[in-house]
């Protein structure tokens, strides 16, 4: 009961204050601006990618008649899907290539990183709804809450409150609740309006659930800052010191921690340089069949084994086209090598993510940031899921072409061609992205840690407040 | 009703309170005189549980303050030297808030009556405290203390912001409360007001209660003389 009374009073007091009104107005204006920018970004990106994917497939379907293996060299493009929640949180989207060229013999890297087209300033962050909620909103909380306890102490009301028989812990819960309601009065409308991105046509239901979890994560995150503000306000005797301390914490947690954690992860688990990576791949490639070099060491060995297996003496006596067979064997070796090195790289990325999660214990911003990206589908996992799907498709498409060469063409017949009807019948790239279950599995650790942060900071706050003395 | 037994409080090398013994009966008003730093506020802080005594015990209505800090506060009301309250709320809202925290849910009429008795009329009661003078805030504080209907009352320089008329009204109010059986401990610099309102007057020096006089045995001038000789 006392808790409710304190909460109501706190809320009433905050809402009547000029600084709340001004700060809420500024924050709302920034949020509206971020929504406008997000809409612009999302709508145009979605249009571009849909259009580009259509053109790429059209080019494949309508290519000039050619030999199926020539078509493998002709290649095709696939594009990273644009998920509806990238509207809210762009995550690492700007830093990852969005276009992948698929061709025979090699696994390419994704091209066209959006960040490459932008100035250095873009690296500081873009005004997205996620930025407003994750970085700017805590500032709003700090402005509201820095003197919650110091103010009561400085004006002597703390003495009066405690003399009235209020349990100090009730003060923490009540004030936390009041501040929480003031925060909700702004954050809830933001989160409701922020869901406009989901109103676009063809948005799957799972994105609504993802957004619900994201919204919850942001609210818990803001709750962490309410706790932090109360703790600092209770520990520090003067309001101006509390303000400076909280701003310092904000700089550490929201601005420095993300960069420092990423730097540390990259230092602890370094990724190989591009040169050394390509050198290692090249070395491994040379130790296997090359479909374009039938007289090579490994090709000759494969030839001997195959002839023996089928009991024939020359490759043109084989029941299939040797060219197609060796081409596919070469492809399989190449795929194996690329995949092996890619897996090593992925393992390093995985370790780096682990470091980020551990470092996130120091900053709830890292946790909400990871959770938000993972739920929005703009995180590392979702990106690699796309790359893996694209690679799987590449292997199937090239396999389909080599198989056609092997079964339907004569040995040595490099002049034979396939026409549009064949290419149009080739497997299409149909990729939906990770489903809700996968997204939940990936985002669960950071969500659980975030909830832990909230509970632990609340518990510490209670302990500290319980010992507070007004003199 | 208000009792201290061998209360000591030490801050490092400073003895803020030394062997304080006190027993204030219901209906009694005990005024503590002394210079700044003599230990008056520390004494009150010990009874409020804001300061943990180094030795000795403080009792409110027989309850050991350090054993049952929250329970003991049910039996006391407190008026600090500076009452700031919440500037964004009206006097009425402040009174309602503090009363609710003490567990009282008064009707608006009752709240206005408390404020009226403390010297704030309805028009003033409905204004935000940010528009109040220091004296008006003090009056709102008096209303808050009265509304708690406690058996003991602790006052720390309560008349420091009041004009002579309000101070006089406050003295009358205190006497009325004492007649109703409230035990009052008041720290003050106002010798004349103390002489007028108190049952007993104690003089503190360097943490010690060095003299206690019956107020009606001395005139104000005599009291001032005694005070100056003692401190």
SS (H, E, C) B113-144: HHHHHHCCCHHHHCCEHHHCCHHHHHHHHHHH
Q: Is the pLDDT of residue A316 over 60?
A: yes
Distances from the Cα of A196 to the Cα of A43, A208, A242, A444, B165, angstroms = 12, 11, 37, 25, 64
Indicate the angle between helix axes A380-408 and A436-466, nearest 10 degrees.
170
Determine the number of helices (DSSP H) and then strands (DSSP E) in chain A. 18, 3
Interface touch A165/B101, C-beta < 8 Å: yes
User: Could you tell me the pLDDT band of residue B145, with boundaries at 50, 70 and 90?
Assistant: very high
Q: How far apart are CA A372 and CA B124, in angstroms?
A: 51
Interface touch B103/A165, C-beta < 8 Å: yes
According to the model, what pLDDT value does residue A122 have?
58
Residue of chain A whose alpha carbon sits nearest to that of B85 = A157
Interface touch A13/B77, C-beta < 8 Å: no
Taking phi over 0 as left and psi of -120 to 50 as alpha, with beta for the rest, A461 belongs to: alpha
Cβ contact B83:B119 at 8 Å? no
**What mean pLDDT do residues A383-403 have?**
87
Which pair of tokens denotes residue B96? 């309602």
Residue of chain A whose alpha carbon sits nearest to that of B47 = A163
* A356-367 pLDDT tens trace: 888 888 899 999
The CATH classification number of B2-84+149-230 equals 3.40.50.300
Percent of chain A with pLDDT over 90: 37
Out of B81, B85, B101, whose CB is closest to A164?
B101
Indicate the angle between helix axes A436-466 and A364-376, nearest 10 degrees.
160
List, in sequence order, the alpha helices (H) in A251-379.
Answer: 257-268, 274-286, 297-310, 322-359, 364-376
Q: How far apart are CA A75 and CA A77, in angstroms?
A: 7
Phi first, then psi, for residue B58 (nearest 5°) are: -120, 135
Cβ contact A318:A306 at 8 Å? yes
Side by side, the strands of the sheet bearing B63-64 are B14-24, B2-11, B55-60, B63-64
Domain boundaries in chain B? 2-84+149-230
Q: Is the pLDDT of residue A114 over 80?
A: no
According to the model, what pLDDT value does residue A78 have?
86
* A43-60 pLDDT tens trace: 888 888 888 888 888 888
According to the model, what pLDDT value does residue A125 have?
64
Distances from the Cα of A421 to the Cα of A57, A63, A71, A75, A424, angstroms = 13, 10, 13, 17, 5
Q: How far apart are CA A355 and CA A364, in angstroms?
A: 14
**What mean pLDDT do residues A237-243 have?**
93
Q: How far apart are CA A337 and CA B18, in angstroms?
A: 85
- Distance between B225 CA and the closest CA of chain A, angstroms: 33
Distances from the Cα of A51 to the Cα of A46, A114, A131, A229, A387, angstroms = 8, 17, 29, 48, 20
Contact residues on chain B for A17, CB-CB shorter than 8 A: 88
- Stronger pLDDT, B231 or A272, i.e. the higher one: A272
According to the model, what pLDDT value does residue B169 have?
87
Domain boundaries in chain A? 2-272+330-466
According to the model, what pLDDT value does residue A312 have?
80
Q: How far apart are CA A129 and CA A194, in angstroms?
A: 7
Q: How far apart are CA A309 and CA A303, in angstroms?
A: 10
Q: Is the pLDDT of residue A124 over 60?
A: no
Interface of A with B in 324-353 (CB under 8 A): none
* B24-34 pLDDT tens trace: 999 999 999 99
Cβ contact A293:A299 at 8 Å? yes
B78 touches chain A (CB under 8 A): yes
Tell me whether 0.85 is exceeded by the ipTM.
yes
**What mean pLDDT do residues A290-301 have?**
76
Residue-wise burial string across B66-76, b where 16 or more C-beta atoms lie within 10 A, e elsewhere: eeebeebbbbb
According to the model, what pLDDT value does residue A39 have?
84
DSSP letter at A341 equals: H
Q: Is the pLDDT of residue A315 over 80?
A: no
* A418-441 pLDDT tens trace: 888 888 888 888 888 888 999 999
B86 touches chain A (CB under 8 A): yes
> C-alpha angle with apex A27: A24 to A28, nearest 5 degrees?
80
Residue-wise burial string across A193-226, b where 16 or more C-beta atoms lie within 10 A, e elsewhere: ebbebbeeeebeebbeebbebbbbbbbbbbbbbb
**What mean pLDDT do residues B196-217 have?**
92
According to the model, what pLDDT value does residue B121 have?
94
Residues 6+ away with beta carbon under 8 Å from B171: B159, B193, B196, B197
According to the model, what pLDDT value does residue A349 have?
87
**What mean pLDDT do residues B106-120 have?**
94
* B175-202 pLDDT tens trace: 999 999 999 999 998 888 898 999 999 9
User: Could you tell me the pLDDT band of residue A97, with boundaries at 50, 70 and 90?
Assistant: confident
H or E stretch covering A66: none
Q: Is the pLDDT of residue A371 over 90?
A: yes
Q: Which among A165, A182, A469, A471 is the top mutation candidate for probing chain B, defined by the most B β-carbons within 10 Å of its own β-carbon?
A: A165
Q: Is the pLDDT of residue B74 over 90?
A: yes
Contact residues on chain B for A156, CB-CB shorter than 8 A: 80-84
According to the model, what pLDDT value does residue A116 have?
64
User: Could you tell me the pLDDT band of residue A283, with boundaries at 50, 70 and 90?
Assistant: confident
B73 touches chain A (CB under 8 A): yes
According to the model, what pLDDT value does residue A118 have?
64
């Amino acid at each position: 009961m006392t808790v409710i009374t304190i909460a109501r009073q706190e809320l009433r007091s905050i809402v009547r204050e000029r600084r709340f009104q001004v700060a809420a107005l500024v924050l709302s204006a920034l949020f509206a601006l971020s929504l406008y920018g997000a809409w612009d970004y999302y709508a145009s990106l979605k249009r571009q990618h849909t259009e580009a994917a259509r053109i790429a497939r059209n080019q494949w379907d309508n290519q000039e008649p050619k030999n199926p293996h020539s078509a493998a060299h002709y290649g095709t493009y696939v594009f990273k899907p644009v998920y509806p929640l990238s509207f809210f949180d762009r995550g690492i989207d700007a830093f990852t290539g969005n276009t992948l060229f698929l061709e025979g013999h090699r696994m390419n890297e994704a091209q066209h990183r959006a960040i490459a087209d932008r100035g250095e300033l873009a690296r500081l962050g873009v005004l997205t709804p996620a930025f407003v909620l994750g970085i700017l909103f805590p500032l709003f909380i700090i402005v509201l809450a820095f003197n919650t306890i110091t103010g009561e102490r400085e004006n002597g009301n703390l003495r009066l409150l405690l003399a009235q028989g209020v349990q100090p812990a009730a003060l923490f819960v009540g004030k936390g609740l009041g501040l929480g309601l003031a925060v909700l009065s702004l954050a809830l409308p933001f989160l409701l309006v922020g869901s406009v991105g989901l109103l676009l046509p063809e948005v799957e239901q799972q994105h609504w659930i993802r957004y619900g979890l994201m919204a919850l994560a942001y609210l818990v995150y803001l709750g962490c800052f309410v706790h932090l503000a109360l703790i600092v306000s209770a520990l520090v005797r003067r309001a101006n010191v509390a303000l400076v301390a909280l701003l310092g914490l904000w700089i550490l947690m929201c601005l420095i921690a993300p960069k420092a954690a990423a730097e540390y992860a990259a230092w602890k688990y370094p990724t190989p340089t591009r040169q050394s990576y390509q050198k290692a791949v090249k070395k491994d490639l040379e130790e296997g069949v090359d479909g374009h070099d039938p007289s090579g060491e490994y090709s000759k060995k494969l030839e001997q084994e195959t002839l023996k297996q089928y009991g024939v003496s020359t490759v043109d006596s084989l029941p299939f086209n040797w060219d197609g067979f060796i081409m596919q064997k070469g492809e399989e070796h190449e795929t194996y090598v690329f995949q092996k090195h890619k897996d090593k790289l992925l393992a390093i990325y995985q370790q780096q993510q682990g470091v980020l999660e551990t470092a996130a214990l120091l900053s709830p911003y890292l946790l909400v940031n990871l959770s938000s990206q993972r739920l929005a589908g703009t995180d590392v996992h979702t990106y690699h899921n796309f790359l893996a799907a694209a690679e799987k498709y590449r292997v199937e498409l090239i396999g389909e072409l080599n198989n056609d060469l092997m079964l339907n063409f004569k040995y040595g017949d490099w002049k034979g061609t396939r026409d549009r009807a064949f290419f149009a019948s080739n497997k299409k790239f149909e990729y939906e992205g990770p489903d809700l279950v996968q997204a939940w599995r990936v985002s669960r650790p950071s969500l659980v840690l975030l909830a832990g942060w909230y509970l632990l900071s609340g518990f510490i706050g209670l302990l500290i407040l319980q010992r507070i003395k007004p003199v | 009703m208000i009792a201290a037994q061998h209360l000591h409080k030490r801050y490092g090398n400073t003895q803020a309170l030394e062997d304080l013994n006190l027993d204030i009966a219901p209906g009694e008003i005990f005024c503590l005189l002394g210079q700044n730093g003599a230990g008056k506020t520390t004494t009150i802080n010990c009874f409020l549980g804001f300061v943990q005594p180094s030795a000795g015990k403080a009792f409110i209505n027989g309850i050991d303050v350090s054993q049952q800090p929250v329970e003991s506060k049910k039996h006391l009301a407190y008026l600090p030297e500076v009452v700031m309250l919440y500037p964004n709320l009206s006097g009425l809202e402040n009174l309602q808030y503090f009363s609710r925290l003490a567990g009282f849910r008064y009707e608006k009429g009752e709240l206005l009556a408390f404020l009226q008795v403390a010297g704030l009329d309805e028009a003033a009661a409905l204004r935000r405290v940010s528009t109040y003078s220091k004296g008006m805030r003090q009056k709102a504080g008096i209303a808050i203390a009265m509304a708690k209907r406690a058996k003991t009352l602790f006052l720390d320089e309560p008349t420091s912001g009041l004009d002579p008329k309000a101070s006089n009204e406050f003295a009358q109010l205190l006497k009325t409360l004492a007649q109703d059986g409230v035990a009052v401990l008041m720290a003050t610099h106002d010798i004349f007001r103390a002489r007028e309102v108190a049952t007993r007057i104690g003089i503190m020096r360097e943490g010690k209660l060095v003299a206690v006089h019956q107020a009606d045995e001395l005139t104000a001038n005599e009291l001032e003389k005694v005070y100056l000789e003692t401190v």
